[in-house]
Amino acid sequence: MSPYFNKNEALIVLHEVYSDLSLEELEKEKKETIWHAIHDKLPYNDTKFRKLNSDLLKLFEQFITIEAFEKDKQTKLTIELKAINDRNLDILFNSANAKIDRFNKYNIDESADHYYFLYETEKTKFELKTDIERKNKRTDFAKEFNIADISRNLDIFYLSEKLKYISTTLSWSRLYKIEIEPFDITPIKKIISEKKEIIPPIALYYQIYLTLIEPEEIRHFSILRKLIKKYLDVFPPKEQRYILDSAVSYGVGKVNSGFLELQKPTLELYKEAIEYEGFYDNGYLSPTSFRNIVFFALRTKEFDWAEEFVKSYGERLKDEHRENAVTFNLARIAFYKKEFNRVIQLLQLVEYEDVFYNLVSRTFLLASYYELEELDSLEALINSTNIYLRRSKGISEKQQRQYLNQNRFLKRIMNLNPNDKIAIEKLKIKLKETKGVASKPWLLEKIDELL
C-alpha cells in the first residue's frame, strides 16, 4: 500500500493480512486473530477493529477512484482546464489548450461522451478566455468566442443520449411486456433533418430507434448495418456493444418471426460483431450469442465456417459454459451434415443441467436415432424424455406441451405403414393443424419422405 494514500502502519498490516487470505479463508478467520496480527500485545477492541476496516475500505475506494481518473484522459484534461480557470492561472492556459488540441487530433472517439467532453472544454475555455480578454481590456474579442462550438457539441450530446435512452426504454418495454407512455420525438426529428452532416452517435441511435418503432420496415435494418460498418470503430467498446446488440436483436427477432431472408444478413452482422472487443462481456462471449451464430451459419449452409467458429471461439466462453456449448454445437453441426453417429457420440459425452441444452440435445438424439433406424433406442429415448418433461420443474408449460407433441407425432410416424398413403396424408394434415409442436419442419419433412 503506497504512502501516497496512507501512512498508518496498522492499515498496511491489515491490508497485507487480507491480501494473503482467500475469500473462503477470510470468512473462517476470527476477528481476534486478525487483530493480534496487527496489535500483538493489545487486547482485542471491537470498536477499533471496525474503525480500522472502515478506514481501509475508504482508502480502497479512494485508490480505485484515482486509478480510474488516471486512465480517463478526457476527464483529466477537463479537470485540469477547470482548475486553471478556478485559480485564474492564465499563464497555463495555452499549455492546457495545446494538450486538448493534441488529444482531439489523434482521438477517434465520436461517441456522445466525446461530444460532452468537447462541450465541457469549450465552455471552460470560453469562461477563461473572457476573463483574460477583460484583463487585457480588449474590445474585439467577441470574434474569437466559441459559443457556436459550445452549442453544437451540447446539441449532439443531448440528441444522442436522448435517442439512446428512448431506444433502451422501448427495447425493455417489449422485452418485459411493460406499457409505457409514447415518446414524442418530433422536435428531435426536426433538428436531425436540419443537420446536413452525418454525426455518428445521432445517426446510429436514430436508426436503432427506427428499427424499434417501425420493425416491419426492413430497410431500417439495412441502413443500420451500413452505418455500423462505416462508423462503429469511432465508438468505445461499451457503446459498440449496445449498438451491436440492438442490431443483432432486431435480426434475430425478425428471423424468428418468419423473415428468413434476413438469415444471411444477420449472420454477416454476427461475423462483423465478433471482430469487435465491444461485443464481448468482459472478454467473454455469451452462450446465447455463441448458439445463435452457429444456428445462422447452419441455416445458411455454412457448415465449415460454423465448425471453425466453434473451435476458434469456444475459448471465448466462460469455463462453466464452454464444454456444454462446444459439444452441443459440434453435435448440431454434425446433425446438419447428416453425420448422425457423430451426433450420438458427442451428445452422450455431457450431462446437461441447463433445460435448453437438455431438451434440444434430446431432440437431436431422437432425430439421429430415427435417421439411423435405431428404433429400440428411439422408443426408449421418447419414453425417458416424456418422463423428464412431466417431472422437471424447470420446464414451462409451453415447452412441455411443445416437446410432448413432438414426441407424440414422432411415435406416430414410426408406427406408420409406408404403403398406407391415406394414413400418412391424414397425419400430415393433423400435424400442420396442431399448434405448439417442437421440430415441426423436420417432422413434416419425415412425413413427406414417406409419401
Amino acid at 13: V
Beta partners for residue 281, in sequence order: 284
Q: Would you say 203 and 231 are in contact if contact means Cβ atoms under 8 Å apart? A: yes
pLDDT over 50 at 337, yes or no: yes
| Residue closest to 89 by CA, chosen among 77, 102, 80, 99 | 80
- DSSP code per residue over 108-159: ---SHHHHHHHHHHHHHHHHHHHHHHHHHT-S-GGGG--HHHHHHHHHHHHH
Does pLDDT of 416 surpass 70?
Answer: yes
Higher-pLDDT residue of 136, 427? 427
139 pLDDT above the threshold of 50: no
Q: Kindly tell me if the per-residue pLDDT of 280 is higher than 90.
A: yes
Q: Tell me the percentage of the chain whose pLDDT exceeds 70.
A: 94
Range with the poorest average pLDDT among 104-113, 309-318, 441-450? 104-113
Least confident residue range of 34-38, 189-193, 362-366, 425-429: 189-193
Look at residue 63 and tell me whether its pLDDT is greater than 90: no
pLDDT at 129 over 80: no
pLDDT at 122 over 80: yes
Q: Are 409 and 375 in contact (CB under 8 A)?
A: no
| Contact predicate 154/119, CB 8 Å | yes
Give mean pLDDT, residues 28-51: 88
Task: Give the residue extent of every domain in the chain.
Answer: 280-350, 369-451
Cα(213)–Cα(250) distance, integer angstroms: 11
How far from 317 is each of 165, 310, 325, 332, CA to CA, in Å? 29, 10, 8, 18
* 136 pLDDT higher than 90: no
pTM of the full structure: 0.79
Residue 132, pLDDT score: 56
Mean pLDDT calculated for residue range 264-269: 97
Q: Is the pLDDT confidence value at 113 over 70?
A: yes
Give the distance from CA 406 to its chain's centroid. Answer: 33
- Cα(141)–Cα(347) distance, rounded to whole angstroms? 76
CB 209 within 8 A of CB 246: no
* pLDDT range class, residue 188, cuts 50, 70, 90: confident
Furthest C-alpha separation in the chain: 105
Contact criterion met (CB below 8 Å) for 221 and 235: no
Indicate the helix (H) or strand (E) that contains 349: none
Residue 128 forms beta bridges with which residues?
Answer: none
Sorting pLDDT into bands at 50, 70 and 90, what band is 394? confident
- Bigger pLDDT: 202 vs 129: 202
For residue 144, the model assigns a pLDDT of 57
Can you tell me the distance from the alpha carbon of 427 to that of 421, in angstroms, rounded to the nearest whole number? Answer: 10
Are 298 and 331 in contact by the 8 Å Cβ rule? The answer is no
Higher per-residue confidence, 335 vs 69: 335
Confidence of residue 5 (pLDDT cuts 50, 70, 90): low
Instruction: Please give the DSSP secondary-structure letter assigned to residue 395.
Output: S
pLDDT averaged over the chain?
A: 89
Give the CA distances from residue 158 to residues 205, 302, 351, in Å, rounded to whole numbers and listed in that order: 12, 43, 51
Check residues 206 and 85 and name the one with the higher pLDDT.
206
Region 224-238: mean pLDDT is 95
pLDDT on residue 90: 79
For range 357-380, the mean pLDDT:
94
Say if residue 216 is exposed, middle or buried (CB neighbours under 10 Å; 0-12, 13-18, 19+).
exposed
